[in-house]
Every structure is written in structure tokens, then in C-alpha cells.
Amino acid sequence: MKHKILVVDDSALMRKYLRQMLETQDDFEVHTARDGEDALRQIRELDPDVVTLDINMPVMDGLTCLSHIMTEFPRPVVMVSSLTEKGALATFEALELGAVDYLPKPDGTVSLRIKDLTDELVAKVRAALRAKRRPRRKTRAREEGLPKRSVGGRASPKSSTRPSTASPAEWAAAEEGVVLIGVSTGGPRTLEEILPELPADFPLPVLVAQHMPGKFTRVFAERLNRQCALRVAEVGGPTPLEPGTAWIARGDADVVVSRRKGRLVALSVPADERFLWHPSVERMVRSALDHVPPERLIAVELTGMGNDGAEAMAEVHRRGGRTVAESEETAVVFGMPRELIELGGASAVLPADQIAEQLVEWALGQSPAEGRGAARA
């Protein structure tokens, strides 16, 4: 059975390259469109299974076209965007509108090195063929407006899914721990459902490895910081892991947990090519196991292709830590969480909209059996 793929780009050279890249697959039937209006006409006629969509185009740009697709002809869309800050901002807007994933052009609008990404493009299109489309869920932060900043620059816990029951002093006295989140395809939208639901005084630091290019992660961290009660930032130099903060690993690198002067820190380090994806979830979790008692770790495996982090999180589970696998019902791509479940490494299997509440319960000292959605792995 042939899968119909529609490539939309205003550059004839890019259309040619993208078509050749996809036609390496015997089961892909590839068509092209020169702009957004042409794309909408062809979607009506061809009914493609997946659309790859450029952002910067004349006549009708990619974001406008995407909004029409999601409203009139919902189907998986992979954005093809420039590897720039402007391209990152537009890409996150596209993901919010409903795009499944994105492919960054290495050299800007017309990229002569795009063919270097053939395997990645094919993998993303295949993931899009399997991806589920689900409506955007409004968090309380979105429904009620952005959280107000209070003394010290922290946001009020207005967007929390539940009131906290421990004082900051009690939390400060607790033994060090950390929440580790691994995520790939479909991750930005999923993280934007989970992190804004954590209170500003969440008692554990949060460290996120989201597979993403380096020029995108700072923009993504800034975007999350505007939405969350937690302070959110990209990991730069040695970064103390403190409660009430969420740190996004820098793209095109790895992040590891270490200790400096007795304190837990996150370090951005060169990507280790022994690992397939970056920032590597597997490397992040294994480094945390070297420096934090397993019972003080909470590891979360969210939507994504492949198995990055599954073995390390299963090890956390075996050694007494707590783990969550996102359930199939909400995972855009059920690859990474499924691997964790099949390894018997999930303390709980939960839809995305229940994960923040579970994290709060565990962080406040409840056992996995007491937490919502007890282990079903």
C-alpha cells in the first residue's frame, strides 16, 4: 500500500530535494505544491496521508495554510523550518496549531545540505503516519491567564492542579531529589500541558531532555517560562538544581547530573555519539543514578520515537525510584513510553493530563501505590 505524501515549498530546488529524499521509500507516493493555496487545492484532490509544509512562502504562508488544514482537512503535518530564532518561534506556533513534528533546514530557506537529513525526514514522516491527532487541552494557566509573579520573581501556584500541603521550609529540609523528563516527537505540546500544572513551590527541580536543535531550546524554554508558575530556563553553564525550577537541556548537546561543592548541578556537555538521540535521555538518567539515591528520583517517559531513556528509567524503577510512562491514549507517538512499559519499568502509566498531579503527590512523599493511576506496567 502506497502512502501519499504532499511536499509544500515555494523553492523548486527544495521541492526537488525533498521529493527525492522521500522517494527513497518504495511505499511513498510523493506529490508537490508550490505554496499554501496550491497545497489546499491538492489536499482536496489527493487526500494525502502526510503533508510536509514550509513556513516561509508567498501567496499563503505555512502557518496560515496549517490553520486551514487543521480546521478543514485534519491530517498529520511535518513542518520544514529554518534553523533560526525566527524559525523556532514560527515552529512552536505551528506545533501549537497542531503540527506533529518539524524538520529544521540546516542552511536556511534554501538548504543545499537538506539531503543530509534524509533518514531523519523519512523517520519523522513515518512517525507522522502513526501519530494520533488530539485536541489542544487548555491548562488552568491558559484558562485563567498567565500566573502572577510574586516576591523573589517566582510565580504564584495559581496554575497548580492541587494546593500544596508542605511549607517551603519543609521542602528545603527534604533530601535532594530530581524529576527527570524524557521526550521527543510531540513533546513541546505535551510539556506545555504538564509543566504549567506544577506549582511554583514544587519541591523538586525538574530536568527535561527534549530532542531538539540547539537554536530551538532557548526559545522553547523562554516560551515555557511565560506559561509556567515554575521558573523555566535552558541549561547553560553548571546549573544548580533547585526546587521550583525546570531546566531544558540545550539542543545538539547532552545534559548530565553531577555534583559541585556538594550540590546537585546540571551540566551541558558535548553530545556523546554513542547515543543516537540528543539531548540523550538515557545519558541524563544514568548520570542522575550516579549522584542521587534512586528513591529520590522520579523519571517520566513521554511521547517520542525509539527507546531513548527506557532502559535507564527501568533501572530507576528496579532500584526503588518512581517512573511514569505516558499512556497510549495521549502519546502522539507511543514509542519511548511503550519501551519503558514493555521493560516492566513503569510505576504508573498515565495520560498526559494526569501526570502533573501524580508528580505533585509523589514529590510530597506519597508511595507509588498511593499515587493516582497506580502501577499498571
Query: Minimal CA–CA distance to 4: which of 23, 30, 22, 35?
Result: 30
- Chain centroid to CA 272: 20
Angle separating helix axes 118-130 and 12-22, nearest 10 degrees: 70
Catalytic residue status for 308: yes
Catalytic residue status for 156: no
Query: Minimal CA–CA distance to 210: which of 221, 222, 223?
Result: 221
Query: Minimal CA–CA distance to 325: which of 183, 152, 212?
Result: 183
Which is the catalytic residue, given 31, 211, 278, 317? Answer: 211
Which is the catalytic residue, given 82, 164, 184, 280? Answer: 184
**What DSSP string describes 16-61?**
HHHHHHHTTSTTEEEEEESSHHHHHHHHHHH--SEEEEESS-SSS-
Which is the catalytic residue, given 10, 38, 54, 308? Answer: 308
* Residue 120 to residue 37: CA distance in whole angstroms: 27
**What DSSP string describes 261-294?**
TTEEEEEEEE--TTSSSSS-HHHHHHHHHHHS-G
C-beta separation of 30 from 19 below 8 A: yes
Half-sphere exposure of 7 (CA within 13 A, CB side): 24
* Residue 144 to residue 158: CA distance in whole angstroms: 9
Catalytic residue status for 61: no
Which amino acid, one-letter code, is at 198?
Answer: L
**Residues classed as catalytic:** 184, 211, 308
